Amino acid sequence: MLPYTNFTTYLQEKAGLTDNDITQLPYLPALKRFRKGQSLVNSGPVCKDIFFVEKGLLRQYTIDEQGKEPIIHFAPEGWIVSDRSSAYFNQASEYVIDAIEDSEVVMMNEAFINAASELSKTFRENNHRALHNHVRQLQKRIVQLLSATAEARYLAFLARYPNLCLRVPQWMIASYLGITPESLSRVRKDLARKGFK
Amino acid sequence: MLPYTNFTTYLQEKAGLTDNDITQLPYLPALKRFRKGQSLVNSGPVCKDIFFVEKGLLRQYTIDEQGKEPIIHFAPEGWIVSDRSSAYFNQASEYVIDAIEDSEVVMMNEAFINAASELSKTFRENNHRALHNHVRQLQKRIVQLLSATAEARYLAFLARYPNLCLRVPQWMIASYLGITPESLSRVRKDLARKGFK
DNA sequence: CGAGCGCTTGATTGAGTTCAAAAATCGTGG
DNA sequence: CCACGATTTTTGAACTCAATCAAGCGCTCG
């Protein structure tokens, strides 16, 4: 049995590889464990890998001029995170990816992606589709940041990442929303007062 | 001679088609003219085309719940705009694209993109590269909206779209930055006072 | 058990909004 | 080409949401 059930399911159901395809892959990517707080990649070097979260929870963030750490993404089990444009343009990554919980991560490198792409048209197409979907999510987030209040953005976070609000420290959610931890605390208090949940 | 010099240059220099490739295309996309204020596409229908701006200036925006119109992109000559994920997922587009100036636009449909992709590996690769680059720009904008002040965002706008600040009405720039026209007016006044430009 | 971290709460400050009105610019028809 | 109305930009004043600063509480982990 393979050491990663979520990843296998992903290859079959999301990425569109058949069982036969999988046996024909030259190798399967390694599973690595990361402790809470540990970094998978730092900003600086080129980020070559694509990470599939088998178990646990990752975050991706950058460090801006004022030393703030705005969070781009959270990635719980079954999600993927990477800085593909860093690999693509062979440029230094501006993002850090680290573990919010003890995590198990499947490290897909370019070679694996290429091999799977050679093998299966569906895999290629799904990859492309995922990229388009990513663009759409990013645009939605921009629209939201342009026009929605802190409260609306928090509610959107809850909808986008169900069951994550208890696993992610509040100060990180605040950073994802572009507000301070104090403000988020007040937003939540207000929602509670209004009888939310 | 072809009716669009910018688009031809784009096909050759950016998209990587050789002169020979171009003669082998089954057809070349149509050039359409749009008057200032006219819409190319509305939110609602699926947005199937990809627009290359031969001349003029377009904007892409959405309409949110409060009736605000946050602007996603500006596209002057030589730029491309579309809602590819709408075409890709065959879903209603949430965005409107209209002309800020009288414009000439090359309408590339899926068939043309597919034909060019068949013909040239470079075209395919450049397309993919452009998509990655797009993702990178979107992420940068998110980081900026999360952590930068109105002034910093305005300066970033000036850097990203050189020579556009005189062509785009200020209230639209304000909408792109996520602030009110009044606030932008004050940001500019402040910058002038500080001796900017 | 103590130190540190995360969350809350309060008081104050500040960036940006809202509302209102004047000034400047643009567009169009005569 | 000018004039007039409409739109855009500017300015002012009051206000609001969220940031900052500061203190206190509770939990966890060494």
pLDDT in tens, B101-138: 999 999 998 899 989 998 998 998 888 888 888 999 99
> What is residue B68's predicted lDDT score, i.e. its pLDDT?
87
Instruction: Round to whole Å and give the CA distance between A76 and B21.
Output: 45
Give the distance between the most distant pair of CA atoms in chain B. 57
Contact B178 A138 (CB under 8 A): no
- Band of residue B3 on the pLDDT scale cut at 50, 70, 90: confident
B108/B51 Cα distance (integer angstroms): 6
Q: Which of B77, B103, B72, B85 is nearest to B9 (CA)?
A: B77
- Phi/psi for A96 (5° steps) reads -110, 140
| Distance D4 C1' – B176 CA (angstroms) | 32
Contact: A142, B143; criterion CB under 8 Å:
no
pLDDT at A196: 66
- Is the Cβ–Cβ distance between A77 and A6 less than 8 Å? yes
- pLDDT at residue B92 in the model: 87
Largest pairwise CA distance in chain A: 57
Under CATH, which number does the domain B5-120 receive?
A: 2.60.120.10
d(CA A65, CA A48): 25
- Residue B88, chain A, CB below 8 Å: the answer is yes
Is the predicted pLDDT of residue A91 greater than 80, yes or no? yes
Average pLDDT of the segment spanning A120-149: 91
**Confidence at residue B14, expressed as pLDDT on a 0 to 100 scale:** 85
Least CB–CB distance from B136: residue in A85, A136, A148: A85
Q: Residue B75 above 90 pLDDT?
A: yes
Distance from CA of A1 to the nearest CA of B (A): 35
What are the extents of the domains in chain A?
5-120
Is residue A87 pLDDT above 90, yes or no?
no
Mean pLDDT across A162-167: 92
Interface contact B20, partner A, CB < 8 A: no
Does residue B97 register a pLDDT over 80? yes
Mean of the per-residue pLDDT values of chain B:
91
- pLDDT, residue B178, reads 95
- Closest C1' nucleotide to A180's CA: D19
What's the DSSP call for residue B29? P
- Locate the DSSP E strands across B24-163: 30-34, 39-41, 50-55, 57-62, 71-76, 80-82, 95-99, 103-108
The reply to whether residue B146 touches residue A84, judged by beta carbons under 8 angstroms, is no
B93 to chain A: closest CA residue: A136
Distance CA B110, CA A189 (A): 49
What does the pLDDT read at residue B4? 87
How distant is C1' of D23 from CA of A171, in Å? 19
Close Cβ partners of A58 (under 8 Å, ≥ 6 residues apart): A40, A51, A74, A75, A79, A81, A97, A98, A99, A100, A103, A105
Report pLDDT for A47. 78
| B142: nearest CB among A136, A142, A147 | A142
The residue of chain B nearest to residue A179, with distances taken between CA atoms, is: B146
Backbone CA torsion sign across A38, A43, A46, A52: positive
Protein CA at A67 to nucleotide C1' at D22, angstroms = 21
- The three-class DSSP label of residue A82 is strand
Find the helix packing angle between A181-193 and A150-160, rounded to 10°.
80
Chain B within 8 Å of A88 (Cβ-Cβ)? yes
- pLDDT at position A129: 86
Span of A164-173, B15-24, B40-49, B68-77 with lowest mean pLDDT = B40-49
Mapped onto helix, strand or coil, the DSSP state of residue B152 is: helix
| pLDDT of residue B164 exceeding 80 | yes
For B166, half-sphere exposure in the C-beta direction (CA atoms, 13 angstrom radius) is 2
Q: What is the pLDDT of residue B44?
A: 67
Q: Which residues contact A70 (CB under 8 A, 6 or more apart)?
A: A61, A62, A64, A175, A176, A178, B142, B143, B146, B147
